[in-house]
Amino acid sequence: MFAIADCNNFFVSCERVFRPDLAGKPVMVLSGNDGCVVARSNEVKALGIKMGVPLFQVKDLVEKHDITLFSSNFSLYGDLSDRVMHILEKYTSCLEQYSIDEAFLTFPDNIPVSQLTTLCRNIRREVLRGVGIPISLGIAPTRTLAKTASHFAKKHKGYNGVCAIFSDIQRRKALSLTPIGDVWGIGRKTRDRLLNYGINTALDFADKTETFVRQLLTKPGVMTWRELKGESCILFNDVAQKQSITRSRTFATAVNKLEDMEKHIADFCAACAVRLRAQHSVCQQMIVYAMPSRFRDEQHGAYIRALIQMPVATANSQEIITAALGALRKQFRDNGAYKSAGVILLAIAPDNSVQQSLFDTHDRTRENKLQQTIDTLNNTMGKNTIRWAVQLENNNNTTFFHTDHLSPRYTTDINQIFTIKV
């Protein structure tokens, strides 16, 4: 049996932990540079404000309804996420973190239905009491059905945050109420294709024959179909390991100097490499890009895009940063006025299947030991405690970014610790 724990409106909930006065009031969290809406409280959702909408388009609603705004505070969100995961892992021998606010828990299939539901309610209470974050849990025989159950647990108060799909009657009822586009693993293109065949709900899809599904969709689509029918066949590695990893940023102030752009690209590379190592993967290709403002015609031609082929697949931060900066320096223009930049890692494969080269000049054993030591220190003492010199300084990473509504880093910076006046 699987359960998925999903933190409700996670970024908003994190902000409310230290602002209990905002309970029941409209709250929004904004993306980098305070550009778009990336998290909404239920009160904001009720106003019809959509996810991803630019802030300037809803300024009137913000003022009219006195919506509280926050800039993204990833130090706070990451730390509270870790605290939630530490509580969850007490209840299962197999915890698989899927995202910053979601994790799958695996339980033996011989646990009685009532006992498993009670256990999940206890988990929910402990997370709320210990961290202050409300969570919803969906329970089912497959991961895809568990995700479906979690949607009901979130939307309907009668479930008290825990919804279980055990019987075939419950499965069919839940699927009949689930639009095909809301099924976990069904993307926009697949949704549109299924809609063209009159498949409007998850039940419509599950009731199709395997022959029909195989002719229409690829292997992942067939696996999703099987999961909806109650057959567990999607392994966590199938969903956890990304085939591309991206870090990018739009700058509040255009970047004109090479040394400034190098710091940002180095930061993106280091972050991508951390994610790469976390899923035990390596990459052999990388794209580095930077774009000027599209509203400045005189900057036409300053666009940077470089595809880099690594001689040996790697997850080493130093090697990835060095390759990226080498490509950047060849194309960078001092008068480019670059407004955005990013790094994309491609050709990702498991780290136990690296093809070596006879002409490799790197001492990979030594470099890997150094990287492991750095990761251990950063995991123990805090993110970027040890960093490459070319990266942005810890206290200088807001120079090019708007963070006008940034809350304190209550749990990760001793100088911003929560205080109470008596």
Q: Residue 114: inside a domain, yes or no?
A: yes
Q: Residue 398: inside a domain, yes or no?
A: no
Distances (CA, A) of 317 to 270, 274, 276, 323, 328: 5, 8, 10, 10, 16
Q: Residue 118: inside a domain, yes or no?
A: yes
Shared domain for 203 and 335, answered yes or no, is: no
CB 43 within 8 A of CB 8: no
Q: Is 300 left (phi over 0), alpha (psi -120 to 50) or beta?
A: beta
Q: What is the CATH number of the domain that holds 218?
A: 1.10.150.20
Q: Give the end of a domain, one of 178, 211, 240.
A: 240
Planar angle of CA 192, 194, 197, nearest 5 degrees? 115
Q: Residue 400: inside a domain, yes or no?
A: no
CB 67 within 8 A of CB 44: yes
Residue 35 belongs to what domain range? 1-165+405-422
How far, in Å, CA of 251 to CA of 246, rounded? 16
Q: Residue 397: inside a domain, yes or no?
A: no
Kindly calculate the radius of gyration of the chain based on its CA atoms and give it in whole angstroms.
Answer: 23
Shared domain for 45 and 178, answered yes or no, is: no
pLDDT tens across the length of the chain (422 residues): 899 999 999 999 999 999 999 999 999 999 877 888 999 999 999 999 999 898 999 999 999 999 999 998 888 988 899 899 999 988 887 888 888 889 999 988 788 888 899 999 999 999 999 999 999 999 999 999 999 999 999 998 889 999 999 999 999 999 999 999 999 989 889 999 999 999 999 999 999 999 999 999 988 899 999 999 999 987 765 555 567 788 888 787 888 889 999 999 999 999 999 989 988 888 888 999 998 876 555 445 578 889 898 888 899 999 999 999 999 999 998 877 888 899 999 888 887 766 666 677 778 788 888 888 988 888 888 777 888 888 887 544 545 556 778 888 888 888 888 888 88
Which residues, 6+ apart, have CB-to-CB distance to 330 below 8 Å? 306
pLDDT 10s digits, 328-349: 999 998 877 888 899 999 888 8
CB 139 within 8 A of CB 152: no
Give percent above pLDDT 70 in the chain: 92
Q: Residue 362: inside a domain, yes or no?
A: yes
Tell me how many domains the chain contains.
3
